[in-house]
A and B are shown apart, each in its own frame.
Chain A
Amino acid sequence: MTDFPLALPGPHNIVTGQLSNGLRVWVYENFETQTVSLQGYAPGGCVNETPEQAGLANLTAVMLRRGSLKRDFDALNEAIEAVGASFGFDAGRHSLSFDAYSLAEDFDLTLGLLAESLIIPAFSEDELTRVRSRILTRLDERRHSARAMANLTFRKRLYPPGHPYHWPLAGEKETVRHLEREDLQRFYQEKITPERGVVVVVGAISATEAMRKLENALGGWRHPRARPNLVVPPRPVISGKIEVDVAVRGKSQSEIVLGWPGIARTDADYYPILVCNSILGRFGLGGRLGRRIRETLGLAYHAYSTFTANRGAGSWRVGAGVNPKNIAQTVAVMLEEIARIISQPVSEEELADAKSHLTGSLPLRLETNAGIGGYLLTMAWYDLGLDYLIRYADRIRAVGREDVLRVAQGYLDPDEYVLVTAGPAAEEA
């Protein structure tokens, strides 16, 4: 067996470069496979929308896949599906993301279709009408999903109106309904840019060849009127107990979300939070929360803790899906566990378990080209360094009990929080 640390992607085997338009490129060769994964971010996302345009970044991303000036939607689908490959676009808070996956033999074709969709999109009126109608129906469905409504309402209470993270990515019916072709074209030309963007390619392709092909396909993409938006949104501040119940008719189960403002991806607290979050609601079958809420009390099938981290502060939250009659008891247990983790250091054993899992599971997460590509993209986008994966285990190992206690105390609070429940109304339950 190969010596594992040397096999990790790092400065010695990730090839970096830059296209003539400023797009940074990272390539990692993996000839053990027959496929190639391409993933990228270009600056320009939800943070560039006005509140009246909520959903515009998302609609623009969806429309990029709906036809280029060379090929309409049908022709694109015919071409890509003929080789069993795929490509697509997605909107993020700060970026447009794009990705493609194909057999190595079909990389040229796949890259070509992605590039023409990205560089010369058609934004056809007919497609826009269909896509908008579909998104509006998805928003109707969202209104009838307890889980979606719990998460959406949590977001809106955590980030005040006016904060760039307040609105859901997909927008609202009232805003999406009014988005027109000109809005998409302007947003695309003026807000999305290759400058400071990144592309990673992982798979059965040589780095030299990948660089040359990317330059040919994407090097000419330029949006001279757009400047990358580098503003970091402020960390939200909450005070007191914000408690909201959302009625979603006809449901059997209520969804609970309880949470706080979190951190940016580049924050030094990232590693202690990773460890603390694992102990609180992930390790084993859901950490301390899973042990009490699921294993001991039998209140829920899923009970968890999770955090997000972006250019600006994400959230740190715990949650569960429970029978409506068990909401009060479940929330009480959650708050007890929060009170416990901020008042006493975790045990040496819990700390060792969580760290051992986080470091030991790295090879499993790097098994596929898409898995490796996902890490490389995060490393490039947040400037985490080419040696991020190589140093990862040491950074986790350096986390001590006092670090875990410090971040728990710094971010979690049983007296100040946002609590959302969504499910059957009181008269239904």
Chain B
Amino acid sequence: MLTDRLLTHTLDNGLTLLVRETLAAPVASFWLWYRVGSRNETPGLTGVSHWVEHMLFKGTAAHPQGAFDRMIQRAGGHFNGMTWVDWTTFYATLPAERIDLALEIEADRMQNALFDPVEVESERTVVISEREGNENRPGYMLREQVQAASFLSHPYRHMVIGWKEDLRRITRDDLYAHYRRFYTPNNAVAVAVGAFRADEMIERIAAAFGDIPRGETPPAVRAMEPKPRAQRRVQLDGPGGAHYLLITHQAPPARDPDFFPLVVLNAVLDGATGLPPFGGGGLGRAARLYRALVNSGLAISTNASVAATIDPYLFTISATVRQEGDRDGVESVILAELERLKMEPVGADELARAIKGARAMFAYGSESVTNQAMWLGFASMVADTAWLAGFLDGLARVTPDDIQRVARRYFIPANRVIGWYVSEKRHD
């Protein structure tokens, strides 16, 4: 298990360390996770967290622009940054003997990123270009509208990349203030996994980060989504080669007792997944949705997904329907499958498949130190490492009754948004 032989430690400045020694390959991965994402954004500043993440690649006084990527890549490593609803993370995976480079870089940019106004402007158009690339996909356009319809008040209602109108107006000072507020050791978790001695790694991380002063406690997210009371429908029309359906239901957060039953329910509908950081979907062709929609010829693909988050987020079901397909038919088959989950207990074979599938996914994923470090860090953002340690057991304890109970609780019309991207009938 990933949490075996895991050392945890907290520095005086509040930085939490998770360190795991593995000697399977001569490599190591270092991740720095911050508790900030689109969840922490306010109207007018949507997308600010993701843009700040981009600015951390634009240099510090000690490491001018381009120096970070050059250092890591010269050493044979790969690196990236990611922003999601609840967190922002930076990582590098390197030959084990060079992993200190990642510590040096992350310690520097935790406090010294420049946010040069010229670089802010050139990155504004890069982020807008990233958004325009997303806009090219009908699935993105649909998701953005459905997500906005799924929440009345909570910041989960906007996409991580933000609205284009905000991206045009956000200032250098907005970005810098957000950075100073959230990029503090007491708001971060450092994770190292790889071929090193764990006790030495803790000392090295302490040496790199120990002098960074503790910051003020970041402001808590105030918004709480009110109880959903209305089913909503959303429709976009546009060019496309197929119709796209996305159905959402509000779903419980990672720490809720209903979360594990929903993960198993998701596997029954769509196949087993490992740990779902962004909302994992299975590729289950023996699972219920594929059989009902794809084997029947009603849809050409389908997916269900549940995401582990801090606040209540979304259980999503999607389908792609050919242009001459029966859209109403697809929608009613999905809703009928949800009703069936409420009425009939799921079979023992379906439960066993979900558990075995999750165990196999963990084994595949654990071959890479990058994945191990990602899972450890991600788990500590949305819950903690005890939650991760108990993940497979938590799934194994789920009973058919639990699944019926959560299906009845969450799959109700008042908790639902049904969204369609309808492709226009014009042949070109």
Contact = CB atoms under 8 A, between A and B. Distances in A.
Contacts of B360: 83-85, 102-103, 106
A364 B99 CA distance: 13
Contact of A323 (B77, B94, B132, B356): B132
Contact of B300 (A134, A299, A360): A134
B27 interface: yes
A249 B320 contact: no
A73 B296 CA distance: 13
Given A81-B285, A82-B356, A35 B367 contact: yes
A364 B77 contact: yes
Contacts of A294: 126
Nearest to B369: A367
Interface in A235-268: 248-253
Contacts of A134: 294, 300-301
A390 B307 CA distance: 42
A361 B370 CA distance: 14
Contact of A252 (B98, B125, B132): B132
Interface-central residue, A4, A253, A296, A352, by most chain B CB under 10 Å: A253
Interface string B351-390: 0110011111101100111100000000000000000000
A367 B132 contact: no
Interface string A303-346: 00000000000000000011100000000000000000000000
Contact of A298 (B26, B66, B97, B125): B125
A82 B69 CA distance: 43
B300 A137 contact: yes
Contact of A83 (B98, B126, B356, B367): B356
B76 A363 contact: yes
A97 to B, nearest CB: 18
B26 A299 contact: no
A296 B271 CA distance: 45
A353 interface: yes
A4 B57 CA distance: 31
B241 A144 contact: yes
A133 interface: yes
A133 B298 CA distance: 11
Contact of A4 (B26, B133, B322, B363): B26
A253 B286 contact: no
Contact of A364 (B57, B95, B297): B95
B105 to A, nearest CB: 13
Interface stretch (A179-187, A218-226, A283-291): A283-291
A130 interface: yes
Given A7-B26, A249-B428, A360-B76, A298 B133 contact: no
A294 B65 CA distance: 12
A361 B353 contact: no
A167 interface: no
B128 to A, nearest CB: 8
B364 A101 contact: yes
Contacts of B428: 143, 249
Interface-central residue, B122, B131, B132, B361, by most chain A CB under 10 Å: B132
B173 interface: no
A391 interface: no
Contacts of B300: 133-134, 137-138
9 contacts: A81-B286, A102-B360, A250-B240, A253-B132, A253-B136, A283-B73, A297-B122, A356-B76, A367-B27
Interface of A: 1-2, 4, 7, 32-35, 73-74, 77-78, 80-86, 101-103, 106, 129-130, 133-134, 136-147, 248-253, 283-285, 291, 294-302, 321-323, 352-353, 356-357, 359-364, 366-369
Interface of B: 23-27, 57, 65-66, 69-70, 73-78, 93-98, 121-133, 135-138, 195, 238-242, 271-272, 283-287, 291, 294-295, 297, 300-301, 320, 322-323, 349, 352-353, 356-361, 363-364, 367-370, 423, 428
